[in-house]
Amino acid sequence: MNNDSLIEKTTGAEEVVWDLTDLYLSADDDVFISDLNTLEQKCLDFNGKWNGNIASKPVSEFVSMIEEYEGLVELMDKLSSFAQLVWSTNTEDPANGRMLQTTREVIAKAHQHVIFLSNEISELSDDVMNRLLNSREMESRRHWLELINDRKPYRLSNEVEQVLSLKSLSSRFAWVRLHDEMMSAQVFKLHEHEYTEAEIMKLLQEPSRETRRAAAEAITQGLKESARVQTYIFNTVVTDHYLNDQLRGFQSWISHRNLENEVPDESVNALINNVVERSDLLRRYYALKKRLLGFDEMFEYDRNAPVETDKSFWTWDAAKDVVVSAYSEFHPRFGEIVELFFDRSWIHAPVSKGKNGGAFSAGTIASVHPYIFLNYMGSDRDVQVLAHELGHGVHQYLSRSQGPLLMDTPLTIAETASVFGEMITFNKLFASAGSRKEKLSMLMGKIDDIVSTVYRQIMLNRFEDAMHTARRSTGELSVENMCDIWLKTQHEQYGDSITLTDGYRYWWSYISHFMHVPGYVYAYAYGELLVLALHEIYKSNKETFSDKYIKFLSSGGSKRPSELLQPFGINTDDPEFWKIGLGVIERMISEAEQLSEPYGQE
């Protein structure tokens, strides 16, 4: 490999590891062990005190019950967060896997004893429910009651809910964990060197076309070797999802996800249809990129090729400085929160074998704070990922004020702060660019990210839709079935703008979102287009926007997304709304086209 390859450089992030002691000191911590050992009894006590005994309670006692329940939810989430975070950094350590599984089993058993609560609340008479919804004492938890009402038609008996919860450990969750551990342990061999998933994927952003091609072939070979097992895992998880939908009465494979996201099916369909109808923008962009790269034909491994001569390299400290500065300039409160993640060791940044790929921000619990997980290697894209995850972190940090039941937002809103964080960071960098060529390079990189977030995620949604539909109508899918569906749904949007090599047919198999949260991926496109619209509002009224935005993020999941967005004058239920963000993308492509004529002119 070229000695200048990103993965062979040190960034300063190699020693940036998180300190989880705000959760527990270690897996051997007496407090962790005690919490694990006493959780089920605490839930049993709660059950004995309240089960079958809430309908006639005055509001004050009902509130006391909810406060007690919140404490149990917080404890379960604390145990789960700690075990998951420890495991994510080294999935190959059997002790970590054992701790994760033990913790999940303990929580699942304990959870059986509190499942009754949602069912009993949903069975309250309209008079009692209205009294609770309108009471001052329940004002801060009102939306939690509304959500229980929304899910009432799909709720099963206590006994069935208990069985489904307990069996999930040996059904869906077990298969998802197998997928994750396989991908974490997977090595991709290239030029006598072994790469993790995060490392090999990073090579697809290298300037050298030969490096990208060779990396793509190595990825294909690795995925092909495990494709049969991954196909079986996918089939099993998709079937489990189908059976749950049947039991609960959901009409579509995506309806359950839409319910959890608090958006109507019609709004999601409008998002998808608007993006698909404007596939011309995607093809137009790749036509421009092909011309700038000097290619007669673009392959899938060229999609993320940088349009630049010298690839930027960011040390950890340099990335930190620019992201903290961008957030601080937007609002001082944002800068203060972002600083906490660095100063208090709330980030895990190194790349290592056995560590999960990708990046995420774990909100953990209301009484602690979020933790951010990265695989940082110093690329321009890594800086944007850092800004993205810190956006999640700021959102989760602020929303803790809503308490354990309403601190989390639906996925459709959860991506807002992260994508907005990317945007303000990009704007800062773009404003400091000197030459026309540098501005073009940066703008093309940003459009790459937006295209991946909007168009690629809708392509993934189309694959998911076709996969779930085929599995339900024709039965178990073979490796070739899965590969054919993948290539077909990719071709439908790329058209002739990208040539897909035959090896690319296996690349569906590493995408964990399909199994972790079926239906999840459209939320990325939803969040990106929402942020592009929000950013237009911000540009026209910066004086009042940031304070309004902080209030929006601090609200967490205490209101429906439509209500949270009302202060900005946004209505995502309007099918025409999605055209605003797509219009911004079109303007960015036009700007890139203008900067490219003539390409390279200072």
DSSP secondary structure string for all residues of 344-359: TT-EE----TTS-SS-
pLDDT at 144: 96
Q: For a pLDDT cut of 90, what percent of the chain falls above it? A: 83
Write down the residue that tokens 């061999």 correspond to: 189
| Residue 68 to residue 561: CA distance in whole angstroms | 27
The yes-or-no verdict on residue 228 having pLDDT over 90 is yes
- Could you give the CA distance from residue 211 to residue 242 in angstroms, rounded to a whole number? 41
pTM of the prediction? 0.87
Q: How confident is the model at residue 261 (pLDDT cuts 50, 70, 90)?
A: very high
Q: Which domain holds residue 38?
A: 20-174
Question: Residue 361 phi/psi, 5° resolution?
Answer: -120, 120
The mean pLDDT value for 396-407 works out to: 97
Q: Is 274 helix (H, G, I), strand (E, B) or coil?
A: helix
pLDDT at 600: 44
Residue 38 CA neighbour count, 13 Å, CB half: 9
Give pLDDT, residue 309.
57
Q: How far apart are CA 423 and CA 598, in angstroms?
A: 27
pLDDT at 43 over 80: yes
Identity (one letter) of the amino acid at 462?
A: R
Q: Which amino acid is at 175?
A: W
Contact 62, 138 (CB under 8 A): yes
* Band of residue 226 on the pLDDT scale cut at 50, 70, 90: very high
User: 188 has which bridge partners?
Assistant: 195
Residue-wise pLDDT tens digits, 59-72: 999 999 999 999 99
| pLDDT attached to residue 327 | 97
Tokens of 383: 């800086």
Asked if residue 135 is part of any domain, the answer here is yes
CA dihedral sign, ordered 466, 471, 474, 477? positive
Is residue 180 assigned to a domain? no
Residue 4: pLDDT band (50, 70, 90) is very low
Whether the Cβ atoms of residue 172 and residue 590 lie closer than 8 Å to each other: no
Is pLDDT of 357 > 90?
Answer: no
The overall average pLDDT reported for the chain is 93
| Number of independent structural domains in the chain | 1
Find the range with the poorest average confidence among 162-166, 204-208, 291-295. 162-166
The answer to whether residue 534 is domain-embedded is no
Distance of alpha carbon 17 from its chain centroid, rounded? 21
The pLDDT of residue 198: 85
For the stretch 99-120, pLDDT in tens is 999 999 999 999 999 999 999 9
- The closest of 262, 152, 332, 247 to 556, measured between CA atoms, is 262
Q: Minimal CA–CA distance to 370: which of 30, 77, 102, 100?
A: 77
Tell whether the model's pLDDT for residue 594 goes beyond 50. yes
pLDDT digits (tens, 9 = 90+) for 471-511: 999 999 999 999 999 999 999 999 999 999 999 999 999 99
Quick one: average pLDDT of 129-147? Answer: 94
Q: Could you tell me where the beta strands, DSSP code E, fall in 274-353? A: 347-348
Tokens of 43: 């839930």
Specify the pairing of strand 371-373 against strand 347-348.
parallel
In a domain, residue 207? The reply is no
> Which CATH number covers residue 169?
1.20.140.70
CB 477 within 8 A of CB 231: yes
Q: Is residue 158 part of a domain?
A: yes
Distance in Å from the first CA to the final CA of the chain: 33
Two tokens at 391? 């956006």
Q: Please state whether the peptide bond connecting residue 598 to the residue before it is cis, i.e. omega within 30 degrees of 0.
A: yes
Residue 1: predicted pLDDT: 36
> Is residue 264 situated within a structural domain?
no
pLDDT at position 601? 42
Asked whether residue 108 is domain-assigned, the answer is yes
Most confident of 80-94, 303-317, 429-443: 80-94
Measured CA to CA in angstroms, residue 250 lies from 21, 123, 219, 237, 388 at distances of: 42, 20, 37, 17, 33
pLDDT, residue 311, reads: 62
